[in-house]
Amino acid sequence: MMQIKDSNGFRRVALALAMVMALASLPLGVANAGMVTTDRAIGQGQAAEARETIKGFMARDAVEEELTALGVDPAEAQARVGTLSDQEAVDLAQRIDEMPAGQGVGAIIGAGVFIFIVLLITDLLGFTHVFDFTDKGSANPT
């Protein structure tokens, strides 16, 4: 039989082995494997492409100027594009691609004409005095 001359060395080796065995027996996370559907794989590609479309749109000078005019930091807006969900990014990119340039101009002109007509009518009725050419008197003399 083998004799152990150095019991201190034996204890160190035994302690090291016990620690290795204890660490090896700790539970680790379980990896789950599954099939990736074609729709999901294509959807991830579409989301990445949509984000690039949005970032390209936001990199335009006119868009950056408009964001600044509205009080939005363009860098912060770019960072928020990354936080969009895949579906939101795809929807936004489709709306950007479908909108013709200057589409909102008609609505702005329409709103301006509407405001002009309202002010003109209130001026003619004498409730306001915005335009000099409608000097018809006032319903509220002061």
Ordered by start, the domain boundaries in the chain are: 42-99, 102-142
Query: How confident is the model over 99-125, as a mean pLDDT?
Result: 73
The answer, yes or no, to whether residue 142 has pLDDT greater than 60, is: no
pLDDT at position 82 = 76
Q: Where does residue 33 fall: left (phi above 0), alpha (psi -120 to 50 degrees), or beta otherwise?
A: beta
- The per-residue pLDDT for 112 is 76
pLDDT at 126: 81
Q: Which of 93-102's residues contact partners 24+ apart within 8 Å by CB, and which partners?
A: 93/49, 93/50, 93/51, 93/53, 93/54, 94/50, 96/53, 96/54, 96/57, 97/53
* Res 22: pLDDT: 83
* pLDDT on residue 111: 75
Better-predicted residue by pLDDT, 94 or 7:
94
What is the pLDDT averaged over residues 20-37? Answer: 77
Global pTM value: 0.42
Average pLDDT, the chain: 75
